[in-house]
Every structure is written in C-alpha cells, then in structure tokens.
C-alpha cells in the first residue's frame, strides 16, 4: 500500500501537519529561512530590451525591420549598459544623451533610436516587467518624407557643389542616382562601371541593380575616380552635408522623372524597389540602355 493511501486513511490532523511541514521545508529551500519570498531583483536595461527583441520575428515583422531594430537595441545596450536598472533610465539621463547626440547624429537617426527605446519600454510595461515608463523625452521632429526640393534650388546646389569633396560627390549621387543615404555611404568606385552604371546591391534588395547616371553627371564625376568608397563619410554626415536632406533628393529624383513622362515602372526600377511589388514587373525586362535614356530626361 502506498504512503499516500496511508495518509488518506490516517488522522486528518496528522496529514495537515505533515503537509505544512513539507511546505515550510520547500519555502526555506527556495527562499531561505523564514519562509518569505525574497523580492525579485529590479529589471535591467537588458531585460527591457529583450522583451522587445522577442517580438522582432517573422511574420510579425520583416527580416529587414528586425535587423534594423535589433541594431538600434544593441546601440542602447552599449550606451546605457545592459546591467543598469531599467528604472534608473530617467528623463534627465536621456535629455543629456539627446543634447550630445544631436551634435553628431541627424535628427532622423536620433528620432529612430528614441522610438526603438520607447517601444522596448512600452513592451516591458505591457509584459508587467515595469509599472510605467520612467522617462518622458520627446523625439525630435524629422524631415517630412514627402518634401520635394524645388528645381531651381537643386540646380543652384549642384552648380555650387565641389566634386573634389565628399560632400559634393554625395550631393551629385543623391541627385543623379536617387540612392538612399546608407547606399551612398557604402558605395565604392569599383561598383561603378566605366560608362557610369552603378551596379549596386542596395540595402533593400537581394540582387544587384544597375542604375545608370546621366552622361553629363558621370563625365563630371569620373575625373575624381579613385579607390575605395566614393563618399568616405558617415551616413549622418552625408545628411548634414546636404541642404535639403538625402531623402528629399530621392523624392525629387522620382518626382521630376515622373513629370517628364517617365513610366512608373521605370522610376520604380531606378529607385531600387523590389520588382515583386508590381506584378507587371516580372514580365517586363529592361536593359541598361532603356534606363539610361530615362535618366537623361532629368531636368537638372
């Protein structure tokens, strides 16, 4: 007969006494003498960031978004320290960071970092890890992506640009290729062919795309051809070097081509958008010369 059967048939008070004794022994084993649960340690910055990392998986988010957000969380882990108690990240702490960061980073980058940190803290609150977000810092306002630079301003800026400087080359690349600022920062001279075609694996495509420059632009740039990166600047330095912002130039590139009557599919191809965003794209094959005739229509 099992001991459980023996307990069921024995005196009830003795069974309760044994149960309480066993309970006390378990409490002492896990929490120490006294049987009281020790208070859990305060959550750290690493704990807060991890609550958000667990949500950065497909199909909830794309692989690209997960990678970008993951890098931003890694940044905060380095800046704040992974073992720092999450409650010690207060408004004065982030205000100091914001003041210093805006001296070296663009408003868009700073804004994106703050948005990622807020998302992590918000998730920690939803998961019950924190009672509330212990800081209130307003993210700086970024440039409107719909902003389009006036044609006269583009012509004036291009005319004043010194192609011997990285800043001048960055402006010309943004104006004549429509590349994103990260792609401009990473572009090498070796990725540009002798006839001015940028054969580049952009940050949002899995296969290289050939983006030809207008002949007038390439004839001016090729005289400064060297080795390594075309624009040896950090992405934020590229943004600050442009009077209107890299993305504004990208929008202008697309807008003025469209105004010249260029088909939307051609513009999409030149911008490096994935062709599977347009069903027709899989059935139309465009040569580099087709694209070159298109970019020659740029009005600047």
What pLDDT is stored for residue 166 in this prediction? 93
Nearest to 119 by CA among 52, 62, 46: 52
What pLDDT is stored for residue 18 in this prediction? 73
What pLDDT is stored for residue 205 in this prediction? 60
Q: How far apart are alpha carbons 183 and 170 in whole angstroms?
A: 10
**pLDDT tens readout for residues 234-259:** 887 887 778 777 888 888 898 888 88
Q: State the DSSP code for 178.
A: -
**pLDDT tens readout for residues 218-230:** 999 999 998 899 9
**pLDDT tens readout for residues 120-132:** 999 999 988 999 9
Residues 241, 171: contact at Cβ < 8 Å? Answer: yes
Nearest to 212 by CA among 203, 230, 200, 201: 200
**Torsion region of 110: left, alpha or beta (phi above 0 gives left; psi -120 to 50 gives alpha):** alpha
Nearest to 250 by CA among 202, 284, 196, 216: 202
Residues 184, 231: contact at Cβ < 8 Å? Answer: yes
- The DSSP element (H or E) to which 257 belongs, if any, is helix 246-259
Nearest to 153 by CA among 237, 238, 243: 243
Nearest to 114 by CA among 95, 127, 132: 95
Q: Is the pLDDT of residue 9 over 80?
A: no
Q: Is the pLDDT of residue 204 over 90?
A: no
pTM: 0.58
| pLDDT confidence bin for 143, thresholds 50/70/90 | low
What pLDDT is stored for residue 282 in this prediction? 43
- How many other C-beta atoms are found inside a 10 Å radius of the C-beta of residue 2? 7
Give the strand pairing for 209-212 and 197-200. antiparallel
What pLDDT is stored for residue 281 in this prediction? 44
**pLDDT tens readout for residues 28-65:** 776 665 545 556 788 999 999 999 999 998 888 888 88
**pLDDT tens readout for residues 261-292:** 888 888 888 887 765 444 444 434 556 777 88
Q: Is the pLDDT of residue 167 over 70?
A: yes
What pLDDT is stored for residue 116 in this prediction? 95
């Amino acid at each position: 007969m099992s001991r459980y059967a023996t307990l069921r048939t024995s005196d009830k008070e003795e069974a309760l006494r044994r149960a309480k004794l066993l309970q006390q022994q378990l409490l002492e084993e896990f929490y120490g003498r006294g049987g009281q649960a020790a208070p859990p340690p305060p959550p750290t910055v690493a704990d807060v960031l991890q609550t958000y990392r667990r949500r950065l998986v497909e199909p909830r988010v794309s692989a690209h978004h997960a990678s970008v957000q993951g890098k931003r969380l890694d940044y905060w882990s380095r800046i704040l320290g992974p073992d720092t108690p999450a409650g010690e990240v207060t408004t004065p702490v982030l205000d100091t960071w914001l003041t210093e960061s805006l001296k070296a980073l663009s408003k868009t980058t700073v804004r994106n970092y703050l948005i990622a940190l807020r998302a992590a803290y918000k998730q920690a609150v939803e998961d019950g890890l924190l009672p509330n977000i212990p800081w209130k810092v307003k993210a700086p306002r970024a440039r409107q992506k719909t902003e389009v630079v006036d044609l006269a301003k583009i012509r004036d800026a291009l005319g004043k640009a010194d192609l011997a400087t990285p800043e001048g080359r960055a402006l010309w690349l943004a104006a004549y290729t429509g590349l994103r600022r990260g792609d401009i920062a990473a572009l090498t001279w070796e990725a540009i062919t002798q006839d001015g075609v940028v054969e580049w694996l952009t940050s949002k495509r899995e296969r290289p795309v050939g983006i030809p420059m207008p002949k007038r632009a390439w004839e001016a740039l090729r005289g400064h051809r060297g080795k390594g990166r075309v624009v040896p600047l950090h992405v934020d330095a590229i943004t600050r070097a442009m009077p209107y912002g890299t993305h504004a130039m990208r929008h202008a590139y697309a807008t003025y081509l469209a105004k010249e009557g260029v088909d939307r599919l051609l513009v999409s191809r030149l911008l490096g958008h994935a062709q599977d965003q347009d069903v027709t794209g899989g059935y139309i094959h465009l040569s580099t010369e087709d694209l070159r005739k298109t970019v020659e229509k740029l009005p600047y």
